[in-house]
Structure 1
Amino acid sequence: MTHQLLLLPGDGIGPEIIHEAERVIQTLTRTHGLSVELERGLIGGAAYEAEGDPLPERTLALAKAADAVLFGAVGGPQWDTIARDKRPERGLLRIRAGLDLFANLRPATLAPELAEASSLRPELVAGLDIMIVRELTGGIYFGQPREQAADRAYNTMVYSRAEVERIARRAFEIARLRGRRLCSVDKANVLEVSEFWRETVTAVSADYPDVELSHMYVDNAAMQLVRAPKQFDVIVTGNLFGDVLSDIAAMLTGSIGMLPSASLNEQSRGLYEPVHGSAPDIAGQDKANPLATILSLAMLLRYSLGETTMAEAVEAAVGQVLADGLRTADLHQPGTTPVGTAAMGDAVIRALEKTAH
């Protein structure tokens, strides 16, 4: 089967890191039997400069036709003063909405070789492997009514049963692929919407008797993430709580340059991107860490294309280069070998070639 993939390099370091991921895709087609057709599109500041729109209609049409989208980054100081609806970040928000990407997957994993880079003690984080599943299109960020006036402002946190059920089912399915443990995070002791969330997730759990479900209040979950993070396998939570908890989990790994993410719709088509931004200060200097983008590609292979074996091969190749002591600038420590963006891509490809059939 031939898969349709769309590459959206974007701005800043986006073109560099997407280039390295594309080289990995080419290696997989040559050595592991991956069959893909690649398209490219403009998004963000690059799209604004070319077409006056951070998300041209052609790009959105290509995204809707693709099995998955691999995205780099958007933004830069040169666009900070243009009209808000034309700024690069609006392109990303619009493509998420246009594809109905309701499930945001944010893994926080830490190879033993990088344990010293974490702000926590190595024994607390070595071997960390958490998946946070965040509901992305509902909750307080989108709830109506909302208002800002001279002397007050308010937002409303709203979830429908259908919204909670679909994110819960996605989380249970992901838990089945991992350690079969799911922790649902809410604030049910204070918020009615969280009571409703907890009741709905519990009802869905009847369809997944093989997955152990637990519940935790969000304040406790934040504490537990920095006290004993390896107790978690999969966490599912709403938009606001997921926004906060995923950033806490990200810092446990020591470098945001290592973190991939996925945003999926009902059909498991998705947009995959590194968590870090466009880093315009190092763009074009061969300094960016491409590993988060390459790991995002691994997520794409697993969750949208169903190519689990290839996903595991890519992840193993990344693990091998880290074990070999290669580090980009964001990870460099005494005793390791500093490399640039392209050299890190070369190393991943060499490791991947060794696993060819």
Structure 2
Amino acid sequence: MATHNLLLVPGDGIGPEVMGEVKKLIAYMNANGMGRFETEEAMCGGCAIDAHGVPITDADMERAKATDAILFGAAGGPKWDKVAYEIRPEAGILRLRKDLQLYANLRPAVCFPALAASSSLKPEVVEGLDIMILRELTGGVYFGEPKTITDLGNGQKRAIDTQIYDTYEIERIGRVAFELARKRRNKVTSMEKRNVMKTGVLWNEVMTALHKREYSDVEFEHQLADSGGMQLVRWPKQFDVIVCDNLFGDMLSDIAAMLTGSLGMLPSASLGEINPKTKKRHAMYEPVHGSAPDIAGKGLANPIAMIASFGMALRYSFDALKEADLIDAAIANVLASGLRTADIKGDGKAASTSEMGDAIIAEFGKLAKAA
């Protein structure tokens, strides 16, 4: 059995709490012959600023480059609102994404049957929902230069953010979208703003050409991103894989997350290119939710997104498809049993973070023994 190296980055706020539940799951798998995982920890975000004066150190970046996969908790909080923009907690995440070239961000939005009533939309709109938002993660307006604020005098300032995309960046995220769709329901929707943005024009052209040249077997459509947002809340089950740039992917995936009932339910995977020699890729897995400092330390956080992110690591980095499926099934069964954390409890009693984690691990073990 191969040994897999994991770098755990708990981060800030509720990050350490939800990461603690994954640590318990990893320990269970190691103890029961379901994997061989070696872990070490690193700091990123506000905790790293407090300890080292930077959101991530060069030494921890090197460890991130050397590991098989990164599990990330959460970063940021009001404590660090006044630090310099260049060393804000989120800059650590951006550095990880950029230096590791984690260009493909997979954000599944799945509505478990037991939570259909927890969505703000009608149950029939979201029940059975299973879509994938694919966000280009290392280009676009978040990384484009120049990025400046200039004092114009007379109390006026000018801020500039630059949106840039090259053909190869669009093609490589497009290929991921089409390949994902072939393993799902074989449909891709590309969303951009070609009516007002030149990058949207290029995005549309490149995606159209790529589909015609290499993926004509996949159903394909274009939508303007603003209209796509409207369609996500009108009838989300019309979509399968949605692919978009960094900015629109950020916004649309948060919309999709709330269709499922809570941000606490949604995992994500950020993947780099596969090395043709080693057949490995850089990868980082993290929940979509933020650091939620208002509930940190209270045992109220929902660990499902963090546990499901580990499940995505098993699926996309370690080819442990059986174990990944068992994690998904364990989460579904625990929710079906009626157990809920505070964010999804409705009128019922809320389980603590550790109670939810323990229940999922126990169900995972039960399913594994029965398999």
Band the TM-score falls in, shorter-chain normalisation = over 0.9
Relative distance call for 1:154 and 1:11 in structure 2 (3 A) is: closer
Q: Is the 8 A contact 1:295 1:314 kept in 2?
A: yes
* Alpha-carbon distance between aligned partners in 1 of 2:38 and 2:29, rounded to the nearest angstrom: 13
Q: Does 1:172 align with 2:185?
A: no
**What do residues 148-203 of structure 1 show as CA deviations (whole Å, max 9, x unaligned)?**
44365544432111101111111112222222211111223443322221221122
Q: Is the 8 A contact 1:185 1:221 kept in 2?
A: yes
Relative distance call for 1:283 and 1:192 in structure 2 (3 A) is: closer
How far residue 87 of structure 1 moved from its aligned partner, in angstroms, is 2.9
Q: Is the 8 A contact 1:118 1:252 kept in 2?
A: yes
Relative distance call for 1:54 and 1:191 in structure 2 (3 A) is: closer
Q: Does 1:162 align with 2:168?
A: yes
Q: Does 1:347 align with 2:359?
A: yes
Q: Is the 8 A contact 1:168 1:204 kept in 2?
A: yes
State the TM-score, normalized to the length of structure 1.
0.94
The residue type paired with residue 76 of structure 2 is G
Which of 309, 315, 332 is matched with 1:296 structurally?
309
Q: Does 1:200 align with 2:206?
A: yes
* Alpha-carbon distance between aligned partners in 1 of 2:46 and 2:149, rounded to the nearest angstrom: 29
* Alpha-carbon distance between aligned partners in 2 of 1:154 and 1:281, rounded to the nearest angstrom: 32
* Alpha-carbon distance between aligned partners in 2 of 1:70 and 1:211, rounded to the nearest angstrom: 32
* Alpha-carbon distance between aligned partners in 1 of 2:139 and 2:86, rounded to the nearest angstrom: 21
How far residue 263 of structure 1 moved from its aligned partner, in angstroms, is 1.4
**Aligned-residue CA RMSD (Å):** 1.8
Q: Is the 8 A contact 1:32 1:356 kept in 2?
A: no
Aligned equivalent of 1:280 = 293
How far residue 242 of structure 1 moved from its aligned partner, in angstroms, is 1.2
**What do residues 215-262 of structure 1 show as CA deviations (whole Å, max 9, x unaligned)?**
112122111101100110100011122122112112212211111112
* Alpha-carbon distance between aligned partners in 2 of 1:189 and 1:280, rounded to the nearest angstrom: 39
How far residue 31 of structure 1 moved from its aligned partner, in angstroms, is 3.7
Q: Is the 8 A contact 1:325 1:337 kept in 2?
A: no
Q: Does 1:129 align with 2:136?
A: no
Counterpart of 1:326 in 2: which secondary structure?
coil
Counterpart of 1:356 in 2: which secondary structure?
helix
The residue type paired with residue 354 of structure 2 is A
Counterpart of 2:174 in 1: which secondary structure?
helix
> How many residues are paired up?
356
Aligned equivalent of 2:44 = 43
Which of 264, 268, 281 is matched with 2:271 structurally?
264
Aligned equivalent of 2:342 = 329
The residue type paired with residue 92 of structure 2 is G
* Alpha-carbon distance between aligned partners in 2 of 1:252 and 1:161, rounded to the nearest angstrom: 32
Aligned equivalent of 2:189 = 183
In the TM superposition, what are the counterparts of 1:136-151 in structure 2 within 5 Å? 136-146=137-147, 148-149=149-150, 150=152
Q: Does 1:88 align with 2:89?
A: yes
* Alpha-carbon distance between aligned partners in 2 of 1:67 and 1:100, rounded to the nearest angstrom: 14
Counterpart of 2:222 in 1: which secondary structure?
strand
Deviates more, 1:111-120 or 1:200-209: 200-209
* Alpha-carbon distance between aligned partners in 2 of 1:162 and 1:225, rounded to the nearest angstrom: 28
The residue type paired with residue 269 of structure 1 is H
Question: Could you list the runs of 5+ residues in structure 2 that have no partner in the other structure?
Answer: 275-280
* Alpha-carbon distance between aligned partners in 1 of 2:368 and 2:159, rounded to the nearest angstrom: 58
Relative distance call for 1:184 and 1:32 in structure 2 (3 A) is: farther
Deviates more, 1:215-224 or 1:47-56: 47-56
* Alpha-carbon distance between aligned partners in 1 of 2:302 and 2:146, rounded to the nearest angstrom: 42
Q: Does 1:251 align with 2:258?
A: yes
* Alpha-carbon distance between aligned partners in 2 of 1:193 and 1:54, rounded to the nearest angstrom: 31
How far residue 208 of structure 1 moved from its aligned partner, in angstroms, is 2.8
Question: Could you list the runs of 5+ residues in structure 1 that have no partner in the other structure?
Answer: none
